[in-house]
């Protein structure tokens, strides 16, 4: 049985810092890089021997360059971090699959369980081909029994196995809420630190195209209160692969939120191995006038609005927060200190969503730096309607984002 | 009947008399004919913890004709939904019932509208069997206000309160505890009705089903759990998902019956039996051995996990509509032309409903 190992850097940072109220002046997370506009994604690599290293100066290891954010950034930014290799193009679901496959090759303890993940190849093809390659014991087709198979995954994780549990749609995981909350989140605490639960729970969520109320849920708002879990949301093929790998390597239970509408995004990603920091936000577009915080699908609505805003003479700074729990208040704080205005654009409902928590966190920590109250654009507090026109109205649209920025910058 | 007596005449006069008789309608019109006919089900019932009902089912021409018409209507409706989906007028999820019509139709024939039915997301035909109109179906599927859920529910959320049809549920298995709750309310108000909670072979492995069954048995609730076993939980065959795919036995202490779900008369007999049983002895499980021609939903081709031969084999040998057609023809209840006319009528009805639904403004 695999030894339980602690990723020293990440775990220490997590246990020592209370979630959302770090003093922005103190660096509590080890992989801090000075905010200078450099776009490199430095990361903590937790190696199989348990030592965490800040990977800036690799010696005696395969050279790992600082990989640039592959998303378009403002012209004139540092070019030092561009990758010299051309990389390869793929779709987001393929990036997830690549990350998963690499981790399964690397560590025999990694297994996948979920409905139709094996022979069928996954309802969104994320696990395609894995069953043929790794066999039925490592890629497990479960019956439709979320409550029980999530529980089994957690039990296996207690012994050191590293299951990746797929919810065919995140909404289905509500059936396993008891398991996720009480066992996945709290066992580490209630066992006095004896057990870690290195499980990854992943799946698509968010509002799709007329999938109906039950299949358009945003589980991040329900799960965010569960103590002991970590939540990340991917939005590009690049960060999808990176976050998948990091989540699997993490000793903590990580919930990886994918989005139904983003699976076919295409991007060129590096050939060489990389992971993304689970607790780090992504600078999408540096700017001066206003900080727009977003994640997952809304990132694209924000970027669409940003085009309009730039034409109107505004200079928005767009940050993809990626880490939903804990928030990367370091990156966010630095941005607030620069622009003094914050707009949050999210897909959660108005009540009790990620935006609500983020608003509170920013107000608590950076109140003195704000020139205007934090504005939060969220989905409406309604079950998502089936009819397309109604569905559109419940979700934040680019025009609303433009209006909000204009209001904020008066 | 009347025609067979004409066989002893010369063929020419027989033909003359035949045409004459159909003109004068010496036969009683089948649409109101309730002369009992006894038909044997295709296979005997298999039972668990109870005695199986007889395989001789009483029916009549009117009922058989109604079966034919209703199933033809449902079949046409589902095929039309397929086209609408491909034309992008129906979006999101759409789970079609073609092949399984006998379950909806046979069940309805054994019960009243005071009995409750609840099912999962493959609910279009069950809704129609409960009295829902085609307009309500297509309007809902296309997201119009005239839909049964005012365009807000979609394919998986059809309901009809006045006929005690409780939906229409997207989360696999979640409807079974709801169904047992319906049975509790019926017992509480002592109204001598039963509740049918339908689920699939995929949902049969849900824990909440067994939890709900336990309580129903403890409290003697008039709950009938009906497993529509079409042998595939989306892409996973039943033998790969269930250690014991004998779903009618899975109730353990709860009696069960295995039924040929492609035989509307067998379904009717089983549901009649189950209703009597549930009112006296508490919950019972019915396993309907059925088959879906389409994939799990419109996004599933339905051919990666089963062979086309299997699908066409079932269609040739067990199709529910064909069975009733053969029954009608062999008993001389109608001519081939009559039945073809019905199918044409039904097709027109469906097309008209779609056209009407399209007129409504998109919600």
Check whether residue A148 and residue A291 sit in a common domain: no
Does residue A286 form part of some domain?
yes
Dist. CA A315–CA A306, nearest whole Å: 8
Does residue A373 form part of some domain?
yes
Average pLDDT, chain A: 84
- Sorting pLDDT into bands at 50, 70 and 90, what band is A85? low
Q: What is the pLDDT of residues A304-362, one digit of tens each?
A: 999 999 999 999 999 999 999 999 999 999 999 999 999 999 999 999 999 999 999 99
pLDDT value, residue B191: 84
CA distances from A140 to A98, A111, A113, A136, A153 (A): 18, 8, 5, 6, 11
Does residue A31 form part of some domain?
no
Chain A, residues 96-135, CB within 8 A of chain B, namely: 115-116, 119-120, 123
Dist. CA B93–CA B77, nearest whole Å: 16
Instruction: Using an 8 Å CB-CB cutoff, list chain B residues near A211.
Output: 92-93, 154
User: Comparing B152 with B276, which gets the higher pLDDT?
Assistant: B276
Does residue A199 form part of some domain?
yes
Task: List the catalytic residue out of A101, A115, A146, A317.
Answer: A146
Dist. CA A374–CA A367, nearest whole Å: 9
Interface test with A, best of B89, B92, B95, B158 (most A CBs within 10 A): B92
pLDDT value, residue A251: 96
Check whether residue A250 and residue A378 sit in a common domain: no
Which of A236, A270, A304 is the endpoint of a domain?
A: A270
| DSSP per-residue letters across B237-289 | EHHHH-S---GGGTTTTS-EEEEETT-HHHHHHHHHHHHHHHHHH--EEEEEE
pLDDT value, residue A40: 39
Asked if the Cβ–Cβ distance from A212 to B156 is below 8 Å, we say yes
Asked if the Cβ–Cβ distance from B170 to A215 is below 8 Å, we say yes
CATH code of the domain covering residue A325: 3.40.50.920
Residue A71: pLDDT over 90: no
A146 noted as active-site residue: yes
Q: What is the pLDDT of residues B278-308, one digit of tens each?
A: 999 999 999 999 999 999 999 999 999 999 9
Closest residue to A144, CB basis, from B156, B157, B202: B202
A103 noted as active-site residue: no
pLDDT value, residue B100: 98
pLDDT value, residue A12: 38
User: Comparing A34 with B42, which gets the higher pLDDT?
Assistant: B42
- Sorting pLDDT into bands at 50, 70 and 90, what band is A264? very high
Q: Which of A272, A404, A399, A257 has its CA nearest to residue A325?
A: A257
**Proportion of chain A above pLDDT 70, given as a percent:** 79
Check whether residue A307 and residue A246 sit in a common domain: no
Instruction: Using an 8 Å CB-CB cutoff, list chain B residues near A212.
Output: 92-93, 153-157, 170
CATH numbers and ranges of domains, chain B: 37-359 (3.40.50.970)
Does residue A219 form part of some domain?
yes
- Both tokens of B339, joined, read 């039945």
Residue A205: pLDDT over 80: yes
Number of domains in chain A: 2
Check whether residue A325 and residue A229 sit in a common domain: no
- In this prediction the pTM is 0.77
- Sorting pLDDT into bands at 50, 70 and 90, what band is A1? very low
Mean pLDDT is lowest, of A243-257, A322-336, B178-192, B336-350, for: B178-192
Closest-CA residue in chain B for A148?
B207
Does residue A33 form part of some domain?
no
Q: What is the pLDDT of residues B8-17, one digit of tens each?
A: 444 555 455 5
Dist. CA B72–CA B98, nearest whole Å: 10
Does residue A18 form part of some domain?
no
Q: Which residues of B touch A (CB under 8 A)?
A: 91-93, 143-144, 149, 151-157, 170-174, 202-203, 205-208, 233-236, 240-242, 304-305, 362-363
Which of A204, A235, A270 is the endpoint of a domain?
A: A270
Average pLDDT, chain B: 91
CATH code of the domain covering residue A91: 3.40.50.970
ipTM of the complex: 0.72
- Both tokens of A309, joined, read 């805003």
Asked if the Cβ–Cβ distance from B152 to A119 is below 8 Å, we say no
Check whether residue A133 and residue A255 sit in a common domain: yes
Residue A53: pLDDT over 90: no
Residue A371: pLDDT over 90: yes
Q: Which of A276, A324, A313, A316 has its CA nearest to residue A401?
A: A316
Does residue A190 form part of some domain?
yes
Check whether residue A188 and residue A240 sit in a common domain: yes
pLDDT value, residue B301: 92
pLDDT value, residue B363: 58
Check whether residue A400 and residue A262 sit in a common domain: no
Q: What is the pLDDT of residues B222-251, one digit of tens each?
A: 999 999 999 999 999 999 999 999 999 999
- Sorting pLDDT into bands at 50, 70 and 90, what band is A137? confident
Residue B314: pLDDT over 80: yes
Domain of A337, in residue numbers: 282-409
Instruction: Tell whether A382 lies on the interface with B, counting CB pairs under 8 A.
Output: no
Residue A34: pLDDT over 70: no
- Sorting pLDDT into bands at 50, 70 and 90, what band is B188? confident
CA distances from A141 to A117, A353, B231, B233, B250 (A): 6, 32, 16, 11, 21
Instruction: Using an 8 Å CB-CB cutoff, list chain A residues near B207.
Output: 145, 147-148
Check whether residue A239 and residue A305 sit in a common domain: no
Chain A, residues 209-238, CB within 8 A of chain B, namely: 209-215
Check whether residue A225 and residue A266 sit in a common domain: yes
Closest residue to B171, CB basis, from A145, A172, A388: A172
Which of A270, A299, A329 is the endpoint of a domain?
A: A270
Dist. CA A141–CA B240, nearest whole Å: 8
Q: What is the mean pLDDT of residues A83-103?
A: 91
- Contact (CB, 8 A) for B144 and B362: yes
Closest-CA residue in chain B for A207?
B92
């Amino acid at each position: 049985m695999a030894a339980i190992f602690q990723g020293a850097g990440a775990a220490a940072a997590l246990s020592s810092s209370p979630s959302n109220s770090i003093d922005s002046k103190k660096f509590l997370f080890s992989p801090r890089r000075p905010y200078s506009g450099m776009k490199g994604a430095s990361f903590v690599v937790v190696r199989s021997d348990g030592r965490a290293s800040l990977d800036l100066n690799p010696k005696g290891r395969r050279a790992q360059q600082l990989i640039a954010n592959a998303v378009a950034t403002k012209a004139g930014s540092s070019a030092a971090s561009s990758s010299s290799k051309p990389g390869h193009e793929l779709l987001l679901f393929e990036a997830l699959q690549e990350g998963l496959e690499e981790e399964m090759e690397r560590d025999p303890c990694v297994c996948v369980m979920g409905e139709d993940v094996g022979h069928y190849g996954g309802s969104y093809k994320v696990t395609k081909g894995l069953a043929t390659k790794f066999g039925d014991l490592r890629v497990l087709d479960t019956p439709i029994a979320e409550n029980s198979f999530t529980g089994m995954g957690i039990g296996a994780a207690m012994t050191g196995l590293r299951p990746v549990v797929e919810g065919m749609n995140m909404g289905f995981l509500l059936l396993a809420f008891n398991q996720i909350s009480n066992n996945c989140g709290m066992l580490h605490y209630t066992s006095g630190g004896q057990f870690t639960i290195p499980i990854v729970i992943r799946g698509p969520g968010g509002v799709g195209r007329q999938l109906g109320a039950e299949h358009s849920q945003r589980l991040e708002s329900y799960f965010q209160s569960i103590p002991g879990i970590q939540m990340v949301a991917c939005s590009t093929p690049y960060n999808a692969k990176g976050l998948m790998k990091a989540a699997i390597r993490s000793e903590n239970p990580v919930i990886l939120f994918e989005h139904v509408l983003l699976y076919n995004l295409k991007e060129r990603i590096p050939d060489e191995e990389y992971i993304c920091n689970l607790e780090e936000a992504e600078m999408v577009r540096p700017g001066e006038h206003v900080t727009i915080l977003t994640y997952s699908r809304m990132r694209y609505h924000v970027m669409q609005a940003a085009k309009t805003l730039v034409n109107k003479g505004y200079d928005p700074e767009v940050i993809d927060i990626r880490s939903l729990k804990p928030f990367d208040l370091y990156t966010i704080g630095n941005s607030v200190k620069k622009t003094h205005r914050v707009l949050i654009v999210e897909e959660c409902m108005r009540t009790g969503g990620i935006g609500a928590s983020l608003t509170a966190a920013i107000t608590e920590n950076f109140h003195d730096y704000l020139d205007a109250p934090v504005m939060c654009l969220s989905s409406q507090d309604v079950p998502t309607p089936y009819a397309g026109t109604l569905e559109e109205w419940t979700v934040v649209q680019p025009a609303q984002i433009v209006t909000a920025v204009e209001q904020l910058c008066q | 009947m009347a025609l067979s007596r004409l066989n002893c005449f010369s063929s020419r006069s027989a033909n003359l008399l035949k045409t004459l008789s159909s003109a004068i309608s010496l036969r009683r019109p089948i649409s109101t004919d309730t002369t009992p006919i006894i038909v044997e089900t295709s296979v005997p019932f298999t039972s668990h913890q109870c005695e199986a009902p007889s395989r001789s089912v009483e029916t009549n021409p009117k009922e058989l004709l109604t079966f034919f018409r209703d199933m033809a209507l449902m079949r046409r409706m589902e095929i039309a939904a397929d086209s609408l989906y491909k034309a992008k007028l129906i979006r999101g999820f759409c789970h079609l019932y073609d092949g399984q019509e006998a379950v909806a139709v046979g069940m309805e024939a054994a019960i009243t509208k005071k009995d409750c039915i609840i099912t999962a997301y493959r609910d279009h035909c069950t809704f129609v069997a409960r009295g829902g109109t085609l307009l309500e179906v297509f309007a809902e599927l296309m997201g119009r206000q005239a839909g049964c859920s005012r365009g807000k529910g979609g394919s998986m959320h059809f309901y009809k309160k006045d006929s005690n049809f409780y939906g229409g549920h997207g989360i696999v298995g979640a409807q079974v505890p709801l169904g047992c709750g319906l049975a509790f309310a019926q017992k509480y108000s002592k109204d001598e009705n039963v509740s049918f909670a339908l689920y699939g072979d995929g949902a049969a492995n849900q824990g909440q089903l067994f939890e709900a069954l336990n309580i129903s048995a403890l409290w003697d609730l008039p709950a009938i759990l009906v497993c529509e076993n079409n042998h595939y939980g989306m892409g996973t065959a039943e033998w790969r998902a269930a250690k014991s795919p004998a779903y009618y036995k899975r109730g353990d202490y709860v009696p069960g019956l295995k039924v040929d779900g492609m035989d509307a008369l067998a379904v009717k007999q089983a549901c009649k039996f189950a209703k009597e049983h549930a009112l006296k002895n508490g919950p019972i499980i019915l396993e309907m051995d059925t088959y879906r021609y389409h994939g799990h939903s419109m996004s599933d081709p339905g051919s990666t996990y089963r062979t086309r031969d299997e699908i066409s084999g079932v269609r040739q040998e067990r199709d529910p509509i064909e069975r009733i057609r053969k029954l009608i023809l062999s008993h001389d209840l109608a001519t081939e032309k009559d039945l073809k006319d019905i199918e044409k009528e039904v097709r027109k009805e469906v097309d008209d409903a779609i056209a009407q639904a399209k007129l409504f403004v998109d919600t």
